[in-house]
Structure 1
Amino acid sequence: MKISNLVIENYRNIEKVDIQLGSIATLIGGNNSGKSNILRAITLPFLSNDIGYNGKNLSWFDINNVAKENFYEYIFNNQKEIINDSLNQDDFAKMLPRVTVEVTLEPKDTELYFVKDLSYEDDKNDKISYGIVYDYFPKNIKDVLARVKEILMSQEIKKDSEGNLDKEHIETIKMNLLPIDLYTHSIKVPKRDISISYDTLKFFKYTSLIAERDEFSQSAERLGSKSLVKLLQMKLNTDSKITVEKEYTKFFDTLKNLSGMDSIINWQEDSDIENAKDFFNKISILPNMPNMNSLLNSVKLGYSGEHLSFQGLGHRNLILLLVLLNSFIENKKDTAFSVVTLEEPEAHLCINNQKLLSSYISKFAKKENSVQLFYSTHSTEFINKLDFNNIVIVSEGNALSLSSELTDEGKDYLSKNPNLDLYKLFLSKNCILVEGLTEELFIRAYFNSKESLSNIDVISFHKGYTNIMNIWIKLNKDTENRLGIVRDFDNQDEAQKKHEEYNKYNNICVRTTNEYTLEPEVVNTGNNFELLKKYFENTFSWKISDSTDLSNQWRNAKSTVMLKLCKDISTNQLPELEMPKHIQEIIDFLSPIRQPLSFEQGDEPDDN
């Protein structure tokens, strides 16, 4: 079983996310983008267990700020109607913020029993949909409206001539105007408004391994004990517990015999005291077996024959994750499906241990088990470039799944790109995409010679940018990030026209060479011919007749020639070299001094 689709509305910085999911989900994005919020939200529809428990009742701070601001604006504009009871209650209900998290479940045939009460619709192919929806909402709309009216009427200060509160005063009573104490939560079947029973929910569980898991490694007393004890409890059935008790009794008997305690307690055998034997014969040493929890709490993880507390922080985190993840691989009789959320698996790990854990996670995803893993990462080591169906890109509370945003051809194209870095590609403040390593080296060298341009990433990406730009626009439409595209003409008028249509977005700049490739474009710019002619003749003893000859020799030269040129450019040995017009326009577009960005209505990229 797996979650095939996830919808989140109004949870923290997420207004609405609707994404398809693979067997495993890798969330990538910058700090404060919403990755952790997605990981927390996805656990809300499921019954919790003790590892990483999160409460199901939310707080005022868990509700999306935009939804709250829209509600407060509505209150401000309808104060009179609220106070004189003329406000339409249905309209008020629509404006009240509520948090929903809906998961669509995709069971195997052998798992249909567990989801038989979670079905809600059939599609045109008679495929049944199964799901769970968590809803955090006002218990009674009328009570909330009455509370808001009471608060508005109680405020006797800062009212205008018509008796309305000003916006500044409303800002000071926001939390009271949205009374969370009148909210509740429900877990139901989507579109059917039917509550899900405990007997059904008990088959679904989650485990959250948060980024702040260093507490696990703080001391020998606490080192993994809670997590380890929970795992041991899950693994021990009744027969196993009986065996533990028998073995404890055997251990006690052995200890009693070795210590000679009988001779100390039963001293009456050698006593002349009358009736001593009858009295003291009833004294014995009994096993004082602690309860199972106490026994398990004495167990600690170790590594290489030593307590884990003697290992480095990275090793301790690695062992914790491997032990916990491995415990979920086996199907459990009392669990139909488990969600495991993991934040930053790379935390404290060296590159070798990152590769070890990354390989384990890849194998974890391929195993036939009842567990689905969701994890966030800032490390490219944990991004599977051979399966982009598992990648979800998160930015500013928005999320896009590459499984639905890219065609199979597009995914294959990304997989074959040797320099792919999804973080730089989609999340850099300033990024330039070029078609080959020559352009990348040349532009990087120029940037290295100009300290003010050091905040621009350059990625060689070959050809075909339209799918990439579609995703980039969706992720960055509300950010200050900018993207530049450098294209070779290659005698392809239609391709140039198709790509340059993206110049309508004011945070994308697409430019194409006038010449067939980059080299003649550079040579024919400004005074570059004389400058480069002198450089190549002095450095490589070339014989150069004209600009065409120079361009051809440069284009056909070995890579060591380009590398030497770029090194000299980066160390300012060619300070007068000018960038070709199409590249300089992109550099100017990405320069630090620029106008604020804004999107015109309707400037959404096509989905195809």
Structure 2
Amino acid sequence: MRISNIKIKNFKSIEDLDISLPQISALVGSNNAGKSNILEAIRRVLGSAWVNANSFDENDISYRDQEREIEISCTIDPPIKYKKFKEAKDVEISILSFKYTKYKRGEKAGSPRFEQSCLDKNGKVITVLSNAPRKGVQPKFEPLIGIPSEIKEQVPLIYIGTNRSLQEQLPSARYSLLRQIFTEINVNFKDESNTVTINSNETTSEISRFKRFNQLMEEAMSLLKTDEFVDLEASIKRNALLQLGLDPDIDTDKLDLYFTPLDTMNFYKSLDLLVKEGDFLISATQMGEGVQNAIVLAILQAFEETRKKGAILLIEEPEMFLHPQMQRSLYKTIRRVGASNQVIYTIHSPHFLSVPEYSDIVMIKKGSLGTKGFLSTLENDDKRRQKLIKELDPERGELFFSKKLLLVEGDTEKLMLPVYASRVDLDLDRVGATIVEVGGKKNLLEFAKISISFNIPVGILYDTDASDFSNKQEEESFNNILDGLETSDGTVKVWKFEKNFENYYRSEIGEDNYQILCQKFPNTAKPTRARLIAMENDYPIPKTILEVLSWVKS
């Protein structure tokens, strides 16, 4: 089961968002773009059995505009099957819809109101039988009001927030990793085929674990039933009969009231994790944030290893507290979990995007039209995948986090551009600009296509006569393709250096000046020399470089 689409209106920073969500969805974008608010919207409406008007307040409305209404709808795939009566046919619920609004008239006018609806694939309200079906009686139908708890329970949601509190992942928490695991363990425990051998009177016999558990609990209850316990039970029963207008001495058969031990699932829910430090046992919930985070992620890995299926996991910043190697390891775990569960996570680390699974990336951007989501439309074929496995390392993966991206052939441009930027008081990091050297001219097109598919503003710099090409006719055709990427609105810009940057720069400052600079920095590689020359404030910044920096600033 997964959320295949979510629509959000007027919730926090999100005015109007409509995005599809892959099986594994990496929500990527700048700070305050709205990534966390997407997870929060899902958690608010699906992460609680009793969501109502009190689940929201006026601060949750975009711009705190009280004339707006919050709307959240989740399309579930495959549809949820539901029937109001056992004998009825299943109806298929495709969309769970939620609306936080206000009463428009009457005594409650202006008070918060919360509407929940079950919709079909066309967005129409589901209708169900009004009464249990009977032979010879014409069935009557009525709209399904609200979202019954039986439907919510079919959407197992697990949330791991930035506060890696272990308390939220213990079995006692309704929507936790361990609750999901122990629910399945409990089903297995109650299976009659799950037996245990017991010895009695020098004989052995097989009995189901569940039956044996109940036997032992009855024995435990007999020990608990002290005189005070029995008196308390009798007192409650007597007073309950009086409250109901019955005679506690005569009508004892009208109400059978007694204490019973917890069922097996309640035992699992009461489990705690303990850490032994020296001679002391401490609840793991009392440990530091780093330890709690490690345990939560260990539970996630255990969840994967036990192959639990069908859950929807929401994870905020899984890279927190982890060094790069562990980030890569956790990324592999998330991918394995995502094979049989949906995983939706926010991310700021390129280590979670350093493999060619760009079809998992949902780019979240906030612009003049509010928060929007973008999925790549590029076909993720094997040829492209193999190329990206080779070329898209974590450093180059920073392109997915860029507000503006500069794609360059190699180290020369990568080293000199930040120096020229500093000369015009442009802090590339502050404006969210990233320079990515793609490892050669031939890679420019592939990186440009990926960037453009995610609506990332991209600037491309290339040499017209690069060493990558031996066939100059082929190179000229490639140059024309790069030039053709430029758009009239400036979201894609292309600049070229005639022959190469060294030749272009020589023509800009004159041969004599160029030779003086070369003699000043002898025995240095071209990229290093280009960076050192860029630091020479007595020489003007090349015109093309100024155009590039002006585009970044704009």
Q: Name the TM-score class by shorter chain.
A: 0.5 to 0.7
Return the TM-score normalized by structure 2.
0.65
Paired residue for 2:529, among 552, 565, 571? 565
CA distance in 1 between counterparts of 2:436 and 2:73 reads 37
Q: 2:96 aligns with which of 114, 117, 133?
A: 133
SS of the residue 1:25 aligns to: strand
| Deviation of 1:380 (Å) | 1.7
Residues 416, 531 of structure 2: 8 Å contact kept: no
Q: Deviations over 1:23-54 (max 9, x none)?
A: 2111112222111121123346647469xx99
**Partners of 1:3 and 1:291 in 2: how far apart?**
32
Please state how far the C-alpha of 1:208 moved relative to its aligned partner. 1.5
Indicate the residue corresponding to 1:395 in structure 2. 365
**2:154 corresponds to which residue?**
203
Q: Name the aligned partner's letter for residue 510 of structure 1.
A: V
2:205 matched residue in structure 1: none
Q: CA deviation at 1:505?
A: 1.8
Corresponding residue number in structure 1 for 2:134? none
- Taking a change above 3 Å as real, the CA distance of residues 229 and 487 of structure 1, as seen in their structure-2 partners, is closer
Q: How far apart in 2 are the matches of 1:248 and 1:566?
A: 80
Pick from 490, 498, 505 the counterpart of residue 489 of structure 2.
Answer: 505
The equivalent residue for 1:484 is 459
Q: 1:245 to 1:208 in 2, by over 3 A?
A: same
Q: Deviation of residue 317 (structure 1)?
A: 0.6
- Amino acid paired to 1:58: F
How far apart, in 1, do the equivalents of 2:530 and 2:52 lie? Answer: 54
Once the two structures are superposed, residues 303-343 of structure 1 have per-residue CA deviations (whole angstroms, 9 ceiling, x without a partner) of: 899754686532321211331463477577xxx84211111
Shift of 1:434: 1.6
CA distance in 2, matches of 1:590, 1:31: 19
8 Å CA contact 1:322, 1:357 repeated in 2: no
Question: How many Å separate the matches in 2 of 1:224 and 1:313?
Answer: 19
Aligned residue identity for 1:489 = T
How far, CA to CA, are the matches of 2:435 and 2:336 in structure 1? 33
Aligned to 1:187: 118
Q: Which runs of 5+ in 1 are unaligned?
A: 73-95, 120-129, 151-175, 254-287, 476-481, 542-559, 595-608
Q: 1:201 to 1:539 in 2, by over 3 A?
A: closer
Q: Using a 3 Å threshold, how does the CA distance of structure 1 residues 391 and 243 change in structure 2: closer, same or farther?
A: farther
Aligned: 1:315 with 2:247: no
Distance 1:360 1:344, change over 3 A: same
> 2:41 is matched by which residue type in structure 1?
A
Q: 1:178-577, aligned counterparts within 5 Å?
A: 179-191=110-122, 192-194=124-126, 195=144, 197-214=148-165, 216=167, 226=173, 230=179, 234=183, 235-236=185-186, 237-238=189-190, 243=212, 293=266, 297=270, 299-302=272-275, 307=282, 308=284, 313-324=289-300, 326-327=302-303, 337-366=310-339, 369=340, 371-383=341-353, 385-396=355-366, 398-404=371-377, 408=381, 415-418=389-392, 424-447=398-421, 452-455=426-429, 456-461=433-438, 462-464=443-445, 467-468=449-450, 470-471=452-453, 473=455, 483-490=458-465, 491-492=476-477, 494-500=480-486, 502=487, 504-506=488-490, 509-513=493-497, 515-527=498-510, 529-537=511-519, 539-540=521-522, 561-566=525-530, 568-569=532-533, 572=535, 574-577=536-539
> Does the Cα contact within 8 Å between 1:342 and 1:374 map onto a contact in 2?
yes
Deviation at 1:471, TM superposition (A): 4.0
1:587 aligns with 2:549: yes
Q: State the partner residue of 1:261.
A: none
Deviates more, 1:21-30 or 1:309-318: 309-318
Q: Which amino acid aligns with 2:546?
A: Q
Give % identity. 23
Q: Following TM superposition, by how much is the alpha carbon of 1:468 offset from its aligned partner in structure 2, in angstroms?
A: 4.5
* Residue 102 (structure 1) aligns with: 74
Task: Tell me the alpha carbon deviations over residues 264-319 of structure 1, each in whole angstroms, 9 at most, x when there is no partner.
Answer: xxxxxxxxxxxxxxxxxxxxxxxx98887578646324489975468653232121
Please say if residues 20 and 403 of structure 1, whose CA atoms lie closer than 8 Å, have aligned partners that are also in contact.
Answer: no
* Cα separation, 2, equivalents of 1:106 and 1:224: 27
Q: Which amino acid aligns with 1:134?
A: S
- Check the 8 A contact 2:350/2:394 in 1, yes or no: no
Aligned partners of 2:393 and 2:320: how far apart in 1?
24
Question: What is the CA–CA distance in structure 2 between the aligned matches of 1:190 and 1:454, rounded to whole Å?
Answer: 46
* 1:67-99 deviation per Cα after TM superposition (whole angstroms, max 9, x unaligned): x58xx5xxxxxxxxxxxxxxxxxxxxxxx6350
d(CA) in 1 for partners of 2:21, 2:313: 14
Letter in 1 for 2:334: I
1:275 aligned residue: none
Q: In the aligned structure 2, how far is the partner of 1:416 from the partner of 1:460?
A: 14
SS at match of 2:504: helix
Task: Determine the C-alpha separation between the residues in 1 that align with 2:532 and 2:69.
Answer: 60
Maintained 8 Å contact 1:28/1:392: yes
Moved more, 486-495 or 401-410: 401-410
On the 8 A contact 2:33/2:365 being kept in 1, the answer is yes
Structure 2 distance, partners of 1:449, 1:240, is 76
Distance 1:531 1:187 in 2: 74
RMSD: 4.5
Deviation (angstroms), 1:136: 0.8
Q: Secondary structure of 1:42's partner?
A: helix
CA gap of 1:248–1:183, structure 2 versus 1, over 3 A, is closer
Label 1:16 to 1:404 Cα distance change in 2 as closer, same or farther (>3 A). Answer: farther
Taking a change above 3 Å as real, the CA distance of residues 296 and 245 of structure 1, as seen in their structure-2 partners, is farther
Cα separation, 1, equivalents of 2:111 and 2:81: 37
Aligned residue type for 1:378: H
Partner of 2:12: 12
Shift of 1:184: 2.5
- Deviation of 1:437 after TM superposition, in Å, equals 2.9
1:39 is matched with 39
User: Which residue is 1:270 aligned to?
Assistant: none
Q: Which amino acid letter does the alignment assign opposite residue 347 of structure 2? A: T
Evaluate the alpha carbon distance shift between residue 446 and residue 241 of structure 1 in structure 2; reply closer, same or farther with a 3 A threshold.
farther
Change (3 A) 1:231 1:243: farther
Structure 1 residues 347 and 466: alpha-carbon distance in aligned structure 2, compared to 1, 3 A threshold: closer
Q: Kindly report which structure 2 residues correspond to 1:154-169, keeping only aligned pairs within 5 A, or say none.
A: none
CA distance in 2, matches of 1:538, 1:303: 65
Q: CA deviation at 1:494?
A: 3.1
Larger strand percent? 2
The SS at the match of 1:5 is: strand
CA distance in structure 1 between the partners assigned to 2:77 and 2:18 by the alignment: 14
Q: Once the two structures are superposed, what CA deviation does each residue of 1:372-430 show, in whole Å capped at 9, x if it has no partner?
A: 11111111222252211211111225343434466647776655534565874354355
- Secondary structure of 2:39's counterpart equals helix
| TM-score, normalised via structure 1 length | 0.60
